[in-house]
Amino acid sequence: MAHKYDTSDFRNGLKIVIDGNPYIMTYFQFVKPGKGTAFTRTKLKNMITGSVLERTYRTGEKVEAADIEDHTMQFLYEDGEFHHFMNTETFEQVAIPSDGIKDEAAYLTESLEVDVLFFNGRPISVQLPNFIVDVIEYCEPGVRGNTATGATKPATLACGATVQVPLFVEQGETIKVDTRTNAYASRVK
């Protein structure tokens, strides 16, 4: 019997099964119409296809927990359809459909170590390190004397990802980025 969660267990990042597919909860909201009982409104991302589902649950309703395992693996290459990874201990290689990891793919560089997620033994997705450090390959030059707080400009990293950085950050500098939010964290000397 699979493990179940009920609505009081709901939180961002919860992994559940709907119609045989694994979903990760990206949003949940307590809702209570004036004269009625309480519900929880959720947004769930399909961990294989990346598509987003909106679902409403009655308070106390149960959902099936997804059996997700993760293994640390190295990114090898992508062939247009799949991203390939290798377990550095067993040298086992796995391929994940590229469609399901569009958000993560921008940060994948050769030999980057990531957690590959397996659903019922099948590789479906990757979890990036929370922070990565990379060189800015291109951005507009900073404007001297512009000290406006909060102003940003786009910067393209060597890995291919584009992030917003403060105006004082220059091309060629190395920065730290939070991969969960695509947010600039700091400069790295």
Smallest separation (angstroms) from another protein to the CB of 166? 18
147 binds another protein (CB under 8 A): no
Question: Residue written as tokens 């290798």?
Answer: 86
Q: How far is Cα of residue 116 from the mean position of the Cα atoms in its chain?
A: 12
Q: Are 100 and 118 in contact (CB under 8 A)?
A: no
Distance, CA of 65 to CA of 29 (rounded, Å)? 19
User: Could you give the 3-state DSSP secondary structure of residue 8?
Assistant: helix
Residues 3, 11, 35, 189: which binds another protein (CB under 8 A)?
35
> Of 14-22, 31-39, 81-89, 116-124, which segment contacts another protein by CB under 8 A?
31-39
Residues 55-84 that bind another protein (CB under 8 A): 56, 58
Q: Does 33 bind another protein (CB under 8 A)?
A: yes
Of the pair 5, 10, the CB lying nearest another protein is at 10
Rounded CA gap, 78 and 85, in Å?
Answer: 9
Binding footprint of another protein on the chain (CB under 8 A)? 29-39, 41, 54, 56, 58
